[in-house]
Amino acid sequence: MRGCYSTAMSLPSGPIARLLHDARTGRGTAADELLPIVYDQLRGLAQSYLNGERQGHTLAATALVHEAYLRLAGADIEWQDRVHFFAVAARQMRRILVDHAKARGRDKRGGGDQHIPWEDAVMVASETPIDVVAVDQALQRLATFDARKSEIVELVYFGGLTVDEVAQALAISVATVHRDLKMAKAWLHTQLKVNRR
Protein backbone atom coordinates (compact mmCIF):
# COMPACT_ATOMS: atom_id res chain seq x y z
CA MET A 1 0.00 0.00 0.00
CA ARG A 2 2.76 2.42 0.91
CA GLY A 3 4.31 2.23 -2.57
CA CYS A 4 1.20 3.77 -4.08
CA TYR A 5 1.96 7.06 -2.37
CA SER A 6 5.67 7.40 -2.88
CA THR A 7 5.08 9.93 -5.67
CA ALA A 8 2.80 12.01 -3.49
CA MET A 9 5.24 12.08 -0.65
CA SER A 10 8.19 13.00 -2.86
CA LEU A 11 6.56 16.16 -4.17
CA PRO A 12 8.35 19.30 -3.11
CA SER A 13 6.62 20.72 -0.06
CA GLY A 14 7.05 24.34 -1.08
CA PRO A 15 4.17 24.90 -3.52
CA ILE A 16 1.76 22.68 -1.60
CA ALA A 17 2.58 24.26 1.76
CA ARG A 18 2.32 27.77 0.28
CA LEU A 19 -1.03 27.08 -1.41
CA LEU A 20 -2.41 25.43 1.72
CA HIS A 21 -1.44 28.50 3.71
CA ASP A 22 -2.92 30.83 1.09
CA ALA A 23 -6.17 28.85 0.97
CA ARG A 24 -6.47 28.96 4.74
CA THR A 25 -5.86 32.71 4.85
CA GLY A 26 -8.54 33.32 2.26
CA ARG A 27 -6.66 33.90 -1.02
CA GLY A 28 -9.49 32.99 -3.37
CA THR A 29 -7.66 31.10 -6.10
CA ALA A 30 -5.34 29.06 -3.85
CA ALA A 31 -7.69 26.08 -3.45
CA ASP A 32 -8.26 26.01 -7.22
CA GLU A 33 -4.51 26.09 -7.84
CA LEU A 34 -3.86 23.35 -5.29
CA LEU A 35 -6.26 20.74 -6.66
CA PRO A 36 -4.36 20.02 -9.91
CA ILE A 37 -1.11 19.62 -7.96
CA VAL A 38 -2.49 17.07 -5.48
CA TYR A 39 -5.31 15.46 -7.49
CA ASP A 40 -3.36 12.52 -8.96
CA GLN A 41 -1.87 11.67 -5.60
CA LEU A 42 -5.25 11.89 -3.86
CA ARG A 43 -6.78 9.74 -6.59
CA GLY A 44 -4.06 7.13 -6.08
CA LEU A 45 -4.74 7.19 -2.36
CA ALA A 46 -8.49 6.79 -2.96
CA GLN A 47 -7.94 3.99 -5.45
CA SER A 48 -5.76 2.14 -2.95
CA TYR A 49 -8.55 2.34 -0.40
CA LEU A 50 -11.13 1.11 -2.88
CA ASN A 51 -9.01 -1.67 -4.44
CA GLY A 52 -9.66 -3.83 -1.41
CA GLU A 53 -13.38 -3.18 -1.34
CA ARG A 54 -15.96 -5.65 -2.53
CA GLN A 55 -16.93 -5.76 -6.20
CA GLY A 56 -19.57 -3.21 -7.12
CA HIS A 57 -18.66 -0.72 -4.41
CA THR A 58 -21.00 2.24 -4.75
CA LEU A 59 -18.37 4.88 -3.96
CA ALA A 60 -15.99 5.64 -6.85
CA ALA A 61 -12.43 6.90 -6.37
CA THR A 62 -13.29 10.21 -8.04
CA ALA A 63 -16.22 10.78 -5.67
CA LEU A 64 -14.05 9.88 -2.69
CA VAL A 65 -11.36 12.37 -3.80
CA HIS A 66 -13.89 15.14 -4.39
CA GLU A 67 -15.66 14.64 -1.07
CA ALA A 68 -12.36 14.51 0.83
CA TYR A 69 -11.00 17.56 -1.00
CA LEU A 70 -14.14 19.58 -0.24
CA ARG A 71 -13.75 18.74 3.43
CA LEU A 72 -10.05 19.62 3.36
CA ALA A 73 -10.50 22.87 1.45
CA GLY A 74 -13.16 24.04 3.88
CA ALA A 75 -11.32 22.96 7.02
CA ASP A 76 -9.82 25.46 9.42
CA ILE A 77 -6.53 23.60 9.72
CA GLU A 78 -3.16 25.17 10.23
CA TRP A 79 -1.37 23.18 7.54
CA GLN A 80 2.25 22.37 8.35
CA ASP A 81 3.47 20.83 5.09
CA ARG A 82 2.59 18.31 2.39
CA VAL A 83 3.11 15.38 4.79
CA HIS A 84 0.50 16.87 7.11
CA PHE A 85 -1.84 17.48 4.17
CA PHE A 86 -1.68 13.90 2.89
CA ALA A 87 -2.00 12.48 6.40
CA VAL A 88 -5.17 14.50 6.98
CA ALA A 89 -6.43 13.57 3.50
CA ALA A 90 -5.96 9.89 4.30
CA ARG A 91 -7.83 10.33 7.58
CA GLN A 92 -10.69 12.09 5.78
CA MET A 93 -10.96 9.34 3.17
CA ARG A 94 -10.99 6.72 5.89
CA ARG A 95 -13.78 8.60 7.70
CA ILE A 96 -15.80 8.88 4.48
CA LEU A 97 -15.45 5.16 3.80
CA VAL A 98 -16.38 4.27 7.38
CA ASP A 99 -19.42 6.54 7.22
CA HIS A 100 -20.37 5.00 3.87
CA ALA A 101 -19.96 1.47 5.26
CA LYS A 102 -22.05 2.27 8.33
CA ALA A 103 -24.82 3.81 6.23
CA ARG A 104 -24.82 0.86 3.86
CA GLY A 105 -24.78 -1.56 6.80
CA ARG A 106 -27.83 0.17 8.26
CA ASP A 107 -29.57 -0.13 4.92
CA LYS A 108 -28.80 -3.81 4.48
CA ARG A 109 -28.55 -4.96 8.12
CA GLY A 110 -25.01 -6.27 7.85
CA GLY A 111 -25.22 -7.46 4.26
CA GLY A 112 -23.44 -4.39 2.96
CA ASP A 113 -20.37 -4.33 5.17
CA GLN A 114 -17.40 -2.81 3.38
CA HIS A 115 -14.29 -4.97 3.45
CA ILE A 116 -10.66 -4.28 2.80
CA PRO A 117 -8.04 -7.02 2.73
CA TRP A 118 -6.14 -7.25 6.00
CA GLU A 119 -2.81 -6.82 4.21
CA ASP A 120 -3.99 -3.48 2.86
CA ALA A 121 -5.30 -2.41 6.25
CA VAL A 122 -2.21 -3.13 8.32
CA MET A 123 0.19 -4.89 5.96
CA VAL A 124 -0.10 -8.37 7.45
CA ALA A 125 -0.18 -11.22 4.95
CA SER A 126 -3.67 -12.66 5.05
CA GLU A 127 -6.40 -13.52 2.62
CA THR A 128 -9.15 -12.70 5.12
CA PRO A 129 -11.16 -9.59 4.31
CA ILE A 130 -11.63 -7.22 7.23
CA ASP A 131 -14.60 -4.94 7.85
CA VAL A 132 -13.42 -1.34 7.35
CA VAL A 133 -15.57 -0.31 10.31
CA ALA A 134 -13.81 -2.91 12.51
CA VAL A 135 -10.40 -1.60 11.41
CA ASP A 136 -11.49 1.94 12.22
CA GLN A 137 -12.85 0.93 15.63
CA ALA A 138 -9.66 -0.97 16.44
CA LEU A 139 -7.54 2.07 15.54
CA GLN A 140 -9.76 4.24 17.74
CA ARG A 141 -9.35 1.79 20.66
CA LEU A 142 -5.58 1.79 20.14
CA ALA A 143 -5.60 5.60 20.18
CA THR A 144 -7.28 5.66 23.60
CA PHE A 145 -4.22 4.17 25.28
CA ASP A 146 -1.45 4.78 22.73
CA ALA A 147 -2.24 7.65 20.41
CA ARG A 148 1.23 7.66 18.85
CA LYS A 149 1.02 4.04 17.70
CA SER A 150 -2.41 4.65 16.21
CA GLU A 151 -1.13 7.74 14.41
CA ILE A 152 1.90 5.86 13.08
CA VAL A 153 -0.35 3.14 11.61
CA GLU A 154 -2.55 5.79 10.04
CA LEU A 155 0.37 7.76 8.60
CA VAL A 156 2.16 4.72 7.16
CA TYR A 157 -0.71 2.56 5.91
CA PHE A 158 -3.44 5.06 5.25
CA GLY A 159 -1.38 8.17 4.55
CA GLY A 160 1.38 6.43 2.62
CA LEU A 161 4.24 8.13 4.43
CA THR A 162 7.60 6.44 4.62
CA VAL A 163 9.03 5.51 8.00
CA ASP A 164 11.53 8.38 7.65
CA GLU A 165 8.71 10.87 6.96
CA VAL A 166 6.70 9.60 9.93
CA ALA A 167 9.76 9.96 12.16
CA GLN A 168 10.25 13.52 10.93
CA ALA A 169 6.57 14.42 11.24
CA LEU A 170 6.31 13.09 14.80
CA ALA A 171 9.83 14.18 15.86
CA ILE A 172 10.82 10.66 16.90
CA SER A 173 13.54 8.29 15.76
CA VAL A 174 13.19 5.89 12.85
CA ALA A 175 13.88 3.04 15.28
CA THR A 176 10.94 4.18 17.42
CA VAL A 177 8.66 4.24 14.39
CA HIS A 178 9.70 0.69 13.45
CA ARG A 179 9.22 -0.55 17.03
CA ASP A 180 5.84 1.14 17.50
CA LEU A 181 4.63 -0.02 14.11
CA LYS A 182 5.56 -3.63 14.87
CA MET A 183 3.77 -3.51 18.23
CA ALA A 184 0.70 -1.76 16.77
CA LYS A 185 0.40 -4.31 13.95
CA ALA A 186 0.55 -7.19 16.44
CA TRP A 187 -2.08 -5.56 18.66
CA LEU A 188 -4.39 -4.77 15.72
CA HIS A 189 -3.99 -8.26 14.32
CA THR A 190 -5.10 -9.72 17.66
CA GLN A 191 -8.01 -7.30 17.99
CA LEU A 192 -9.33 -7.95 14.52
CA LYS A 193 -8.91 -11.70 14.89
CA VAL A 194 -10.96 -11.62 18.11
CA ASN A 195 -13.66 -9.49 16.43
CA ARG A 196 -14.03 -12.01 13.59
CA ARG A 197 -15.00 -14.80 15.99
**pLDDT for the residue numbered 196:** 62
Q: Among 10-19, 69-78, 98-107, 168-177, name the one with the lowest average pLDDT.
A: 10-19
Q: Amino acid letter at 77? A: I
Taking residues 7-36, what's their average pLDDT? 70
Confidence of residue 147 (pLDDT cuts 50, 70, 90): very high
Taking residues 113-141, what's their average pLDDT? 59
**φ and ψ at residue 60, rounded to 5 degrees:** -85, 155
CB-CB contact of 183 with 126 (8 Å): no
Q: Is the pTM of this model over 0.75?
A: no
